[in-house]
Structure 1
Amino acid sequence: MPTLSTERLTRATSLLRLAESKVRILRSIAWSPEVKERFFADGARELPRVSYPSFDAAPVHAQLAEARALIDFEPVIDAWLGRTADAIATSADLLASVEKPAFLEYGARLYGLPTTPHAGGSPIELARTFDRVFAEVSHVDLGAPPAACHLADAVAVRMREACDTLFGTDAPEVLVVDHLSANALAGPRRVQIRRDACFTDRDVEQLVQHEAYVHVCTSLNGGHQDAVPILGASHAGTTRTQEGLAVFAEFITGTLDPDRTRRLADRVLAIQMAIEGADFLQVYRYYRERAASESQAFESTRRVFRGGVLTGGAPFTKDSVYLDGFLRVSDFLRSVVSLGRTDGLQLLFCGKLDVDDIPALARLAELGLCRPPLYLPPWASDHRYLVTFLAYTSFLSSLPPSDHHASDTAMLAHVPVLRGFGRNERGPRAAADDGSDPD
């Protein structure tokens, strides 16, 4: 086995990061605001007219070849670096195939498909379960406060406070911008919030947990990994775990609500519709039945078709990773707790990585080449609730199907539904009865 050279490792991972820096998927397939304006000016009856910049994958592949020539360390490290190089190469090929059927093939390699099997079930199965359950409880008053719109400037104040508290002098700049493909976007140097976006009370804290306490956190931690620079790069090979970890953060902190969860499920269902041949207009009409506005329906449909084939068959599958990654990260953290391996939680925040990279990073940490994370979100640094919750869910997952569910179902089938029972007419829930609540 060759001796592990720190200099060669740093050189190889620096080359991987240099290659990755040439591949900006979301930026390259973003739609200009004019696309949306034309779509509605035409009465929302014609496919959008979109153009993308051309992309030459050859320079990226050449850079990767130079990096691959240096990869000869230990099997577990070589496997990780090889997967990273493959993900960057596939990302380049994805951009070179926009608006072509091959776009789906490369996207599936990077992000999977809604039907990709997982030990805990596929994303499409989880999405359909969420969709069914939320439809069944749609008549239930869940106790949400009256509809509210927190404007971008107010959200920015909360985001700055959260970033300053956790990151101190490393805190990113928080900006309110006019044009953004999402409501918010976070990186190690800046967090951007779209000026015309409207946020609910839960949205605000979701953004803090998701964008600041995961995406910014892992970016900053990765940026401090001097011996392994690739850990500071958000390449597509890390997307599943990074988005899954961010959704898990929402979940474990109690900020993941039915509206947000249903949006994540709808993304998976819409991607599957497009894979099966639905075009942009068909998916837009699907969203129009569910979204609060035409604008929101358009934005949700745009996420599915950006870079892909507007007539159907080859969508952008990235949004499958939110539920897929949520399943994977949840499984991993249950294993961490059941085995008493809290070092695994520390490794998960060392930078931009995939769960499958943990063995390689553990080896590098053993050699002193991967540093512990500088920053951890509150839920990950205070393990009390996390361990309790995951220990309980680990126990539940080990149980065989219970007879109680069948007997409870039979019992409740004969119990009358008490609609409105228990509502607090004096408290904030009373607003649900006066028509002001969107549900």
Structure 2
Amino acid sequence: MHPDTAERYRSVAQQLHDVAKPMRVLSRLNWPARIREEFLAGGASALPAPAYDPFDATDTLAAVETARSSLESGSAVDDWLGRECDAIERTARMLASVGTPDFHEYSALLYGSPTRPLPFDPTTPLDLAQRIHTILDELAATKLLPQPVRDQTALDVVSVLEPAVREHFGESAPEILIVDELSANAVASTSRIKVRRDAKFTRKDALQLLNHEAHIHVATGLNGRAQDDIPILAIGHPGTTRTQEGLAVYAEYLSGTLGLDRLRRLADRIVAVQLAADGADFIEVFRWFRERSADDEQAFESTRRIFRGAPIEGGAPFTKDCAYLSGFLSVATFVRAAFVAGRADTVALLFSGKLDLWSVAALAELRQEGLVKPARFLPPWAADPSWVLSHLTLGTFQAGIDLAAVTEGVSDLLAHVPAVDIVAGARFRAAEAV
């Protein structure tokens, strides 16, 4: 790579970093706790009326255009930086259109939507969510699924997280905070993991948060901060969300902490986004969630996620909640395909910082030129990938099996066998406590 080209990449990456850093999307779309309190105190009968600070996109769009003007055509790195420009521009336009139907359009471009096909497959997130609901309903009929017991407090979760992150990150370990207001049960940045004070958790949730928030979100943030030559990798803008959340859910899956209750909640959110897109207002979506939630507070929080920045009357929701399952499937598919293609080496690049799957080719080139550093912090399953590789080896073999034929054979075998009444509660409770 010519030194002038390397310097051009450094310059564009720095410009994009400086433009994207102030656009803290979720902070700008946050609702104060009083909105929930007033809504529930009023019997959930009046639409909430959140207010947002206006966002002027003029300077941001001009800065993005300046960065874009330095790009050339024909290289993987230029193409990636061009997509970064597009994502940051769309983010600015989304924030400038809060409360309008345009907000939804930009949101769908950035995060996906329930009916937009996945990157590697014609399946849509809504198809996936409905399939998950069908399978979980079938499992529920077998009475094998225990009811999740949410008897753990925020303090209980923190007592598990704090020693674990100190061991994993050493002096770079994030601070663990218990806070009163939060958009989810827990949220991570590079330097902090926040846990909502009034949230209730299962015993498995602490390990799920460790794998999702710490081993992915904190780790990719720290790794991105170390990329002095390509600093845009330190910024988690909406263009990276599908991959980042997908990677985090994939980490839950590989670590055995992606419980069925969690999977159902992720599927519920996609269905609810579609309900809002079809015209359901805040109250109608809240009532839908209330039938599926432990309490009114949880139903409110699930609904609020979908109406952040969006018209409360429905029709144009915030689609970020589509990113989790669609991102998970995309990441899992990419990892498997890279393995089959003999390019498992590229999987480690996914932890280089805040990035999207399509940046891997560019990052491989930048890594070769010494402009991107190897990731310092990796989740345990990536630091020692032997388990993942054995899992992928068996998975590749299983993918070639004619499941329809096997299912037919097993169905015939068990056609006249009585259903077994399994008492598995004690076993499940023991597993949950691990």
Instruction: From 210, 230, 238, give the equivalent of 1:208.
Output: 210
Which whole-Å CA distance do the structure 2 matches of 1:112 and 1:25 have between them? Answer: 16
Contiguous gaps of at least 5 residues in structure 2: none
- 1:341: Cα distance to partner? 2.3
Which whole-Å CA distance do the structure 1 matches of 2:386 and 2:361 have between them? Answer: 25
Task: Specify the alignment match of 2:52 in structure 1.
Answer: 52
Contiguous gaps of at least 5 residues in structure 1: 432-436
Task: Specify the alignment match of 1:27 in structure 2.
Answer: 27
Asked if the contact 2:114–2:126 (Cα under 8 Å) also holds between the matched residues in 1, the reply is yes
Deviations 1:176-202, CA, capped at 9 Å, x for gaps: 112111111111111111111111111
SS at match of 2:195: strand
Structure 2 counterpart of 1:106, one-letter code: Y
Task: Specify the alignment match of 2:165 in structure 1.
Answer: 163
How do 1:205-284 and structure 2 match up within 5 A? 205-284=207-286
Structure 1 counterpart of 2:183, one-letter code: S
Task: Specify the alignment match of 1:434 in structure 2.
Answer: none
Structure 1 counterpart of 2:45, one-letter code: R
Which whole-Å CA distance do the structure 2 matches of 1:269 and 1:337 have between them? Answer: 32
SS at match of 2:396: helix
- 1:382: Cα distance to partner? 1.4
Please identify, of 374-383 and 3-12, the stretch whose mean Cα deviation from structure 2 is larger: 3-12
SS at match of 2:8: helix
Task: Specify the alignment match of 1:183 in structure 2.
Answer: 185
Asked if the contact 2:367–2:373 (Cα under 8 Å) also holds between the matched residues in 1, the reply is yes
SS at match of 2:193: strand
- 1:115: Cα distance to partner? 1.4
Asked if the contact 2:276–2:285 (Cα under 8 Å) also holds between the matched residues in 1, the reply is yes
Task: Specify the alignment match of 1:84 in structure 2.
Answer: 84
- 1:139: Cα distance to partner? 3.8
Deviations 1:95-153, CA, capped at 9 Å, x for gaps: 11111111111011101111111234221111111101111111445475972422212
Q: TM-score, normalised by structure 2?
A: 0.94
Query: How has the CA–CA distance of structure 1 residues 77 and 36 changed in structure 2, closer, same or farther, with 3 Å as cutoff?
Result: same
How do 1:411-426 and structure 2 match up within 5 A? 411-419=413-421, 421-423=422-424
Which whole-Å CA distance do the structure 1 matches of 2:102 and 2:363 have between them? Answer: 33
Which whole-Å CA distance do the structure 1 matches of 2:334 and 2:148 have between them? Answer: 37
How do 1:328-343 and structure 2 match up within 5 A? 328-343=330-345
Asked if the contact 1:22–1:60 (Cα under 8 Å) also holds between the matched residues in 2, the reply is no
Task: Specify the alignment match of 1:64 in structure 2.
Answer: 64
Asked if the contact 1:131–1:262 (Cα under 8 Å) also holds between the matched residues in 2, the reply is yes
Which whole-Å CA distance do the structure 2 matches of 1:394 and 1:430 have between them? Answer: 32
Which whole-Å CA distance do the structure 2 matches of 1:231 and 1:258 have between them? Answer: 33
Asked if the contact 1:13–1:229 (Cα under 8 Å) also holds between the matched residues in 2, the reply is yes
- 1:4: Cα distance to partner? 4.4
Which whole-Å CA distance do the structure 2 matches of 1:374 and 1:167 have between them? Answer: 10
Task: Specify the alignment match of 1:106 in structure 2.
Answer: 106
SS at match of 2:39: helix
Structure 2 counterpart of 1:377, one-letter code: P
Which whole-Å CA distance do the structure 1 matches of 2:60 and 2:317 have between them? Answer: 24
- 1:410: Cα distance to partner? 4.8
Query: How has the CA–CA distance of structure 1 residues 423 and 231 changed in structure 2, closer, same or farther, with 3 Å as cutoff?
Result: closer
Asked if 1:300 corresponds to 2:302, the answer is yes
- 1:241: Cα distance to partner? 0.4
Asked if 1:391 corresponds to 2:432, the answer is no
Task: Specify the alignment match of 2:36 in structure 1.
Answer: 36
Please identify, of 319-328 and 120-129, the stretch whose mean Cα deviation from structure 2 is larger: 120-129
Identity %: 44
- 1:72: Cα distance to partner? 3.4
Query: How has the CA–CA distance of structure 1 residues 143 and 131 changed in structure 2, closer, same or farther, with 3 Å as cutoff?
Result: closer
Deviations 1:394-424, CA, capped at 9 Å, x for gaps: 23334455312134335545433233x2437
Which whole-Å CA distance do the structure 1 matches of 2:373 and 2:280 have between them? Answer: 47
Structure 2 counterpart of 1:176, one-letter code: I
- 1:383: Cα distance to partner? 1.4
Which whole-Å CA distance do the structure 2 matches of 1:279 and 1:43 have between them? Answer: 16
Query: How has the CA–CA distance of structure 1 residues 165 and 429 changed in structure 2, closer, same or farther, with 3 Å as cutoff?
Result: closer
- 1:268: Cα distance to partner? 0.5
Task: Specify the alignment match of 2:353 in structure 1.
Answer: 351
Structure 2 counterpart of 1:135, one-letter code: D
Which whole-Å CA distance do the structure 1 matches of 2:103 and 2:243 have between them? Answer: 22
Please identify, of 137-146 and 80-89, the stretch whose mean Cα deviation from structure 2 is larger: 137-146
Asked if the contact 2:144–2:424 (Cα under 8 Å) also holds between the matched residues in 1, the reply is no
Which whole-Å CA distance do the structure 1 matches of 2:409 and 2:148 have between them? Answer: 37
Task: Specify the alignment match of 2:198 in structure 1.
Answer: 196
Asked if the contact 1:182–1:194 (Cα under 8 Å) also holds between the matched residues in 2, the reply is yes
Query: How has the CA–CA distance of structure 1 residues 288 and 372 changed in structure 2, closer, same or farther, with 3 Å as cutoff?
Result: same
Query: How has the CA–CA distance of structure 1 residues 73 and 9 changed in structure 2, closer, same or farther, with 3 Å as cutoff?
Result: farther
Which whole-Å CA distance do the structure 1 matches of 2:103 and 2:396 have between them? Answer: 38
